[in-house]
Amino acid sequence: MVDFNEAFGPGDVDGGLINVVVEIGKGSSLKIEWDRENKVMKLDRVEPAIFAKPTSYGFIPQTLDEDGDELDVLILTDEPLPTGLVMEGRVIGVMKFVDDGEVDDKVVVVPSDDRNTGDAITSLDQVQPQLIKQIEFHFNNYKALKKPGSTKVEHWGDVAEAIEVIHESIQRWNDK
């Protein structure tokens, strides 16, 4: 397996284009995570089917969020993306999120070249409000059967706030 953190940097962050490694495809209830130490994608757990991911999900290489993991990314596409795929995403915002008392933000992207719908999307304001509600509901509730109240979407931020979060995560990576 490729070590994604060695093979790929975060991308052109100031230009709003980032590299994303896909961990989980849209619609999956499998919680797959990058195991940095062993350099493999690893099944962490199986979630209840009612909490399948509303978007594909991944991370930005060479970043660390405040929870100690690579910075998470929500990828808005019509189709699910396969685990291990590397793509370039256009940053459109950030979901500020707390999980078990730790900051666990999610940068939101669309593919940088999406000839169906993505090229028209440059901010969260252009995403269907129902999808935003579904994403927020998912993350506020996906641990409710095991640990109610342990997750909370704090707010949605714009592109500038997302880029700031990415830069802070790059700095954490560089400082480790």
Give the chain's largest Cα–Cα span.
40
Average of per-residue pLDDT across 17-46: 97
Domain count, the chain: 1
Domain that holds residue 99: 4-175
Which domain CATH number covers 16?
3.90.80.10
Residue 150's pLDDT band (boundaries 50, 70, 90)? confident
- Residue that wins the pLDDT comparison between 22 and 118: 22
The reply to whether 47 sits in an annotated binding site is no
Please tell me the total number of residues recorded for the chain in this structure. Answer: 176
Percent of the chain topping pLDDT 90:
89
3-state secondary structure of 174: helix
Identify the H or E element spanning 152: strand 151-157
Mean pLDDT of the chain: 95
The reply to whether 99 sits in an annotated binding site is yes
Q: Which listed residue (104, 105, 114, 119) is catalytic?
A: 104
Least confident among 11-25, 103-117, 140-154: 140-154
d(Cα 41, Cα 59) in Å, to the nearest integer? 12
pLDDT score at 118: 62
CA distance readout (Å), 42 to 84, 92, 168: 11, 28, 26
Q: Is 104 a catalytic residue?
A: yes
Q: Which residue has the tokens 């910075």?
A: 71
The reply to whether 35 sits in an annotated binding site is no
Residue range 41-85, pLDDT digits in tens: 999 999 999 999 999 999 999 999 999 999 999 999 999 999 999
